[in-house]
Amino acid sequence: RMPVLFSVTGRRQRASATFSLSLLSLVFSITAFSSSYWCEGVRKVAKPFCAGQSKEKHCIRFNSPDANSSNAVQYIWETGDDKFIDRKFHAGIWYSCEENINGKGEKCRSFISLTPPTDRGVLWLSIVAEILYIILLLAGAILMSTEVCYYTTGIDGLKINAFSAIITVLAGLLGMVAHMMYTTVFQMTVNLGPEDWRPHTWDYGWSYCLAWGSFACCMAAAVTTINKYTKTILEFKHKRKKLERTLKIKYKFPDP
């Protein structure tokens, strides 16, 4: 093999930057995948009837103290929007939670059970794609850490660059598809999901932003890896031409 002269310090700095981006993407993706704040919003829920002489704000009051009497005519003081209370909720890939009316704790349900049956297949595809995305990110991070911690020759570095670039690009594509599929499923669940879950207003949460931030870091790592691979190839060709020119001058080979 032709000897290759590389700037070891420069290569390790680029490899360290790529590994940092890949590791950041992995941490973001795992955090987003395990959380339930992909979407957040508010649900309007009818207030329950107050028990006895309760003066709580989160229940409907009657004008009569004898609430159990069937002969008494009961008048409800709340009208219009006063009959309802806003309950905050947040949902992720695995489950959806909303606060209790009394403000103590949360009530959680499986998001898969809330999804319309026609869209559950898409949700499961999204989950599988997210898992593969995390696995590929982990494999790419291991390869990049190998290049940073252990590296002998330029050829070995090129092989590691090639594999890590392919794996990282595939991971980015899977992550993008998984995030888009979940977005579609959630919007369909908002329109066709159970009546006791549909939100009044909602928006994307910090986990959703973290998931797309993971995708951005993944693609940045892929671009950096490909750029590093291309630069290494160009350096290899330049050093080889320089060496051939030096040998030609030293031994005075005639031009063909």
pLDDT at 7 over 60: no
> Is residue 196 one of the residues assigned to a domain?
yes
HEC string of the chain equals CCCCCCCHHHHHHHHHHHHHHHHHHHHHHHHHHHCCCCEEEEEEEECCECCCCCCCCCCECECCCCCCCCCCCCCECCCHHHHEEEEEEEECCCEEEEECCCCCCEEEEEHHHHCCHHHHHHHHHHHHHHHHHHHHHHHHHHHHHHHHHCCCCHHHHHHHHHHHHHHHHHHHHHHHHHHHHHHHHHHHHHHHCCCCCCCCEEEECHHHHHHHHHHHHHHHHHHHHHHHHHHHHHHHHHHHHHHHHHHHHHHCCCCC
Looking at residue 183, its amino acid is T
pLDDT of residue 127: 94
Domains held by the chain: number: 1
The arithmetic mean of pLDDT across residues 78-87, rounded, is 62
> Is residue 19 one of the residues assigned to a domain?
yes
> Is residue 256 one of the residues assigned to a domain?
no
Residue predicted with more confidence, 230 or 93 = 93
pLDDT band for 165, please (50, 70, 90 cuts): confident
What are the strands of the beta sheet with 95-99, ordered from one edge?
106-110, 95-99, 84-91, 39-46, 201-204
48-76: per-residue pLDDT in tens?
666 655 555 556 555 555 445 554 444 44
pLDDT of residue 65: 52
> Is residue 69 one of the residues assigned to a domain?
no
Q: What percent of the chain has a predicted confidence (pLDDT) above 90?
A: 31
Q: What is the dihedral of CA 28, 122, 177, 94, to 10 degrees?
A: 0
Please provide the average confidence, as pLDDT, over all residues in the chain: 78
pLDDT at 256 over 80: no
Looking at residue 1, its amino acid is R
> Is residue 232 one of the residues assigned to a domain?
yes
Which residues does 29 contact at the CB level (< 8 Å), separation at least 6?
Answer: 130, 133, 134, 137, 175, 211, 214, 218
> Is residue 201 one of the residues assigned to a domain?
yes
> Is residue 220 one of the residues assigned to a domain?
yes
Query: Which of 6-15, 48-57, 91-100, 219-228 is least confident?
Result: 48-57
CATH code of the domain in which 165 resides: 1.20.140.150
> Is residue 154 one of the residues assigned to a domain?
yes
Q: Structural domain of residue 183, as residue ranges?
A: 3-35+116-243
